[in-house]
Amino acid sequence: MTAEKLRLGVNIDHVATVRNARGGDNPDPVRAALIAQAAGADGITAHLREDRRHIVDADIDGLIAALTVPLNFEMAATHEMQQIALRHKPHAVCLVPEKREERTTEGGLDVAGNDNALAAYIAPLADAGSRVSMFIAADRVQVDACRRIGAPVIELHAGAYADAWAEGDWATRDNELAKITDMTAYAVSLGIEVHVGHGLTYDSVGPIAALRQVSELNIGHFIIGEAIFRGLDPAIQEMRRCMDAARA
Ligand code: PXP
C-alpha cells in the first residue's frame, strides 16, 4: 500500500498559545484554521489539553462549525475528553500522552502497557465514526499493541528525529529515521495507516515526506512560528512545496 498524496495536517495550537499569553480573543485559532484550509491544508489538527493551556473548548466548537476539511482532534485518553469527542464526532481522534506515566521511553503513548483499557476506550469513538489514531514511538512493541486493539491509524512520533536534526547529530537522526522507516513499512504491512508528526521543519520534513507509505504529516509549531515572518498562507505553501519536492 502506497499513499497517493501525502496529506498535510496543520496544527493550530500555538495560535492559541499566543492568544492566551494575553487573554482575550486575538489571534483567533479558528481564523488561522480557515486560512490554513484556504492555503491547501488537507486537515486541521488541534489538541485540547486537560489543562487548556492553548486550545480551549470554544475553539473546538468553532472549528467544528467552520471547517470543511477534516478535524484531527488530539486528546488524552480521559473520560472528559472521550465525552467531548463523542459530542463532536470529529473526523479523527488522535490519542496522545499528557502525563509522564502514559509515555514510552521515546515519548509516545504506551499502548502496549494499556492495551485492554485502550481497546475499551476507543470502541465508542470508532462507533461514533471517528478514525482513531495512536501517537506512538516508532517501536514494534507499540505497533503490535495498536494492531491488537484495532487502531486503524498510528502517528509515529518524530520528536527524537527532529531534535537530532536541530542539534546536528546526524548519527541519531539517521537512526531515528531508520526506525520511522521500518515501523512505517511494518505498520502498513499490518493494514494500519501511518501518519508522522512532531517537531518537523522545512529542513527535516524531506526525508519523512519521501517515505511513500506515509499518508499524512501533522505539523504545527514550526509553521506558526514561520508565519510570523512570512505570513500563514506562504508558510504553509512552503511546507507543502518541501513535502511535494521530497516525494517527487
Ligand atoms: N502530532 C501530534 C500527535 C502532536 O501532539 C503534535 C503537537 O505536539 C504535532 C503532531 C505537531 O507537532 P509540532 O507542533 O511540533 O509540529
Residue located nearest, by CA, to atom 12 of ligand 1:
198
Residue 106 pLDDT class (50, 70, 90 cuts):
confident
CB contact set of 155 (below 8 Å; sequence gap of 6+): 94, 133, 134, 135, 136, 194, 195, 196, 197, 216, 218
**DSSP state for residue 62 in the 8-state scheme:** H
Residue 4 pLDDT class (50, 70, 90 cuts):
confident
Give the mean pLDDT of 70-79.
Answer: 98
Task: Give strand pairing partners of 94.
Answer: 74, 133
Taking the CA of residue 222 as reference, the ligand 1 atom at the shortest distance is: 16
User: How much is the pLDDT for 205?
Assistant: 98
User: How much is the pLDDT for 105?
Assistant: 76
Q: Is the pLDDT of residue 1 over 60?
A: no
User: How much is the pLDDT for 235?
Assistant: 98
Q: What is the pLDDT of residues 195-243, one digit of tens each?
A: 999 999 999 999 999 999 999 999 999 999 999 999 999 999 999 999 9
**DSSP state for residue 100 in the 8-state scheme:** G
| pTM for the whole structure | 0.97
Taking the CA of residue 195 as reference, the ligand 1 atom at the shortest distance is: 1
Q: Which has more confidence, 102 or 189? A: 189
Cβ atoms of residues 112 and 141 within 8 Å: yes
User: How far does residue 221's CA lie from ligand 1's centre (Å)?
Assistant: 8
Catalytically active residues, by annotation: 47, 74, 198
Cβ atoms of residues 146 and 114 within 8 Å: no
- The torsion defined by the Cα of 120, 123, 125 and 130, in degrees rounded to 10, comes to 140
Which own/partner pairs from 84-88 qualify as long-range (CB within 8 Å, at least 24 positions apart)?
84/48, 84/57, 84/60, 85/125, 85/128, 85/130, 86/124, 86/125, 86/128, 88/60, 88/61, 88/64
User: How far does residue 118's CA lie from ligand 1's centre (Å)?
Assistant: 21
Q: Is the pLDDT of residue 23 over 70?
A: yes
Cα–Cα–Cα angle for 32, 37, 42, rounded to 5 degrees: 130
The count of C-alpha atoms lying within 13 angstroms of the C-alpha of 194, restricted to the half-sphere facing its C-beta, is 28
Q: Which residues line ligand 1 (CB under 6 A)?
A: 11, 47, 74, 94, 96, 135, 155, 197-200, 218-222
User: How much is the pLDDT for 3?
Assistant: 54
Residue located nearest, by CA, to atom 9 of ligand 1:
198
User: How far does residue 217's CA lie from ligand 1's centre (Å)?
Assistant: 9
Task: Give the span between the Cα atoms of 219 and 215, in whole angstroms.
Answer: 13
Give the mean pLDDT of 138-147.
Answer: 98
SS3 213: coil
User: How much is the pLDDT for 146?
Assistant: 98
